Amino acid sequence: MKKILDLMEGQLRAAFSACGYDETFAKVVLSNRPDLCEYQCNGSMAAAKAYRKKPIDIANGVVEQLGDGQGMFSMVQAVMPGFINLKLSGQFLADYMKGMAAGEKLGLEKPEKPETIIVDYGGANVAKPLHVGHLRAAVIGESIKRLGNFLGHHMIGDVHLGDWGLQMGLIIEELRDRKPELVYFDESYTGEYPEEAPFTIGELEEIYPAASAKSKEDEAFKERAHQATLKLQNGYAPFRAIWNHIIRVSVTDLKKNYSNLNVTFDLWKGESDAEPYIPKLINLLTEKGLAYESQGALVVDVAEETDTKEIPPCLVRKSDGAALYATSDLGTIIQREEDFHPDRYIYVVDKRQDMHFVQVFRVAKKAGIVEQDVPMIFLGFGTMNGKDGKPFKTREGGVMRLERLISDIDEAVYQRIMESERRSMTEEEARAASTIIGLAALKYGDLSNQASKDYIFDVERFSSFEGNTGPYILYTIVRIKSILNKYREDGGQVDETAETKVILPPAGETEKALMLLLTRYSEVLENSFAETAPHKICQYVFELANAFNSFYHETKILSEGDEARKDSYIGLITLARRVLEACIDVLGFEAPDRM
């Protein structure tokens, strides 16, 4: 089903062409003066320069040729100095609503060429709990992956675990100090290593910070950890066995915690998976003459003449032969090219890593690892701050665990439900609902902000049932569900596809406003994906929820005496509910049946 803008532009292109003007001037945009019109075409202004005519003369000619656009428009008007103002007809809108309701994915068109797209998000470290710093990558990345899948692309989400650096050596040596009797530290041991890990997730999460703190005070311990890391990376069997335990225990816990966020990954790869590709990377860079030695290290120049700031060389191997993050990321790209040959890459990472990814992407392109026309997008996100404007912390000043943050917002939602004068839930029902609503509050609170910007995390505001919040969006959906349930109880039938239900032209302004917003559904989803901007979907669902609530407050839906009109209302609000549910599913949360 064609987007509403494409249909309008089709009519305008024909009119411009019939008047002897290039049809590229027929671009239609949403009006910035909704008090005057719904859409507008400003092409006459640009055409005036090309054809040396007055803009208003061009606009008048196009308007005369356009007429009502075969019933599409209720108003077509040329105004000074040369704008063409447009309003859609009620019948056209009603027919478009019915087409959306009956169409697959509400009329969303399949992409002409579906792409295979890697989304690198998550970035958790093994042996460490997820904390608030992991929230944005997970939530933003998940929404982009879901949106791409919904549009018809093949999205591959990779958690890209941190599992191969010095932290592994620190854990191994701390474990040696605590449990020297373990067989992994007996050099004479030749048997099979135990299947059960010598630590729980709780112990593991305590071991790493203790080891990290010790390494800052004890140089000998730090050197032991460094040597242990090298032995692990060189394949030393006892340390590989410990490492496998760390991975299994950590990934099991990470999957549980990501699941609480309704976040999933297609790949659970880590930095360690890039290790076999690093020799190939170094050989490639050397053979192509891109890598050279600088103070004993191996570097690649990536600066370009068009740069407006200094771009340092990319360091791909340290002087002691150790790999770095850039080495690992480039090795991972080689692996992804061999396994998937993606059409696009999207990295969802803290914006402070911008320079790192500029360097990595340029090396990948210069070396021919990735073809020049393949987009490599760095979606850098800002910081989640507390009310004091500083990075979000616990009251004690530490980094808050993600599961505690989720618990806090669930509790805030639960308290709001219990304090509501209209509460009809038991405590048990309120607890169950607060988990669903709390996730919406958390995700919407994050996603409604432009990814690159810092924002204030405010539990009180995010959990509010009013304003631009997740709970408000859910409350709107639940309100529609309630109306539809009452309609069914009164003997009415709700047709989800509207194939047998007639949707009439709007009877009032709020009904037309709701229809106009519903027509923008496909455009919003496609643009949000093209711009990797999930906040635009949040903006849309907020406007749509407001439009529905304005219509609801003005319209006696269930007590409407005209049965055909009532049926039309039901068809329209059913479509509104389906659009809202499709959008929040892409954002990564759902609505309860009651609130």
- Mind spelling out the 3-state secondary structure of 130-180? CEHHHHHHHHHHHHHHHHHHHHCCEEEEECCEECCCHHHHHHHHHHHHHCC
* Residue 321 pLDDT exceeds 90: no
Helices 521-530, 135-151: inter-axial angle, 10-degree rounding: 120
400 within domain boundaries: no
Q: What is the average per-residue pLDDT within 42-53?
A: 96
Cβ density class 474-493: b for 16+ within 10 Å, e for less: bbbbbbbbebbeebeeeeee
Return d(Cα 27, Cα 270) in angstroms, integer: 46
Structural domain count, the chain: 3
- Are 250 and 302 in the same domain? no
| Interacting residues of 249 by C-beta distance below 8 A, sequence separation 6+ | 197, 199, 200, 201, 204
CB 182 within 8 A of CB 198: yes
Q: Is residue 439 part of a domain?
A: no
Same domain, 156 and 20: no
Q: Helices 427-447 and 563-587 sit at what angle, rounded to 10 degrees? A: 70
| CATH for 345 | 3.40.50.620
Confidence (pLDDT) at 500: 56
- The share of the chain scoring above pLDDT 90, in percent, equals 91
In this structure, how many other beta carbons lie within 10 angstroms of the beta carbon of residue 252?
A: 10
Q: Note whether 287 and 200 are same-domain residues.
A: no
pLDDT, the chain, mean: 95
Q: Tokens 């009164």 belong to which residue? A: 490
User: Which amino acid is present at 205?
Assistant: E
Count of alpha carbons within 13 Å of 428, Cβ hemisphere only? 0
Q: Taking residues 163-169, what's their average pLDDT? A: 93
The two counts, helices (H) then strands (E), for the chain are 21, 13
Contact at 8 Å (CB) between 528 and 555?
Answer: no
- Per the structure, the complete domain to which residue 365 belongs is given by 116-162+270-385
Give dist(CA 141, CA 42) in Å, integer.
Answer: 37
pTM score above 0.85:
yes
Q: Closest by alpha carbon to 399, among 386, 413, 417, 382? A: 386
Instruction: Evaluate whether residue 536 is within a structural domain.
Output: no
Distance CA 84, CA 42 (A): 6
Q: What would the pLDDT profile of 75-108 be if each residue is shown by its tens digit?
A: 999 999 999 999 999 999 999 999 999 999 999 9
Same domain, 158 and 223: no
Angle at 254 between CA 253 and CA 258, to 5 degrees: 125
Residues comprising the chain, all counted: 595
Contact partners, residue 95, CB within 8 Å, separation at least 6: none
Confidence of residue 455 (pLDDT cuts 50, 70, 90): very high
585 is a domain residue? no
The mean pLDDT value for 396-420 works out to 90
237 lies in a domain?
Answer: yes
Span 333-352, average pLDDT: 98
pLDDT-derived band at 498, boundaries 50, 70, 90 = low
3-state secondary structure 444-489: HHHHCCCCCCCEECCHHHHCCCCCCCHHHHHHHHHHHHHHHHHHHH
CATH of the domain at 54: 3.30.1360.70
Same domain, 171 and 153: no
Of the listed ranges 80-89, 327-336, 395-404, 506-515, the least confidently predicted one is 395-404
Residue that is written with structure tokens 């069914």 in the block: 488
195/247 same-domain check: yes
Question: Which residue among 324, 352, 385 closes a domain?
Answer: 385
Tell me which residue of 116, 115, 117, 120 sits closest to 357, measured CA to CA.
120
Q: Determine, yes or no, domain membership for 207.
A: yes
The answer on pLDDT for 495 being more than 80 is no
Residues 313, 177 within the same domain: no
79: left (phi over 0), alpha (psi -120 to 50) or beta: beta
Residue 298, classed as helix, strand or coil, is strand
79 plus 147 within the same structural domain: no
Which pLDDT belongs to residue 326? 95
d(CA 446, CA 134): 12
Of 327, 352, 385, the one marking the end of a domain is 385
Whether 278 and 155 share a structural domain = yes
Has residue 410 been placed in a domain?
Answer: no
Dihedral sign for Cα 458, 459, 464, 469, please: positive
* H-type alpha helices, 340-426: 354-366, 402-419
Once rounded to an integer, what is the mean pLDDT over residues 22-41?
A: 96
Same-domain pairing of 232 and 287:
no
- Helix, strand, or coil here: 202? helix
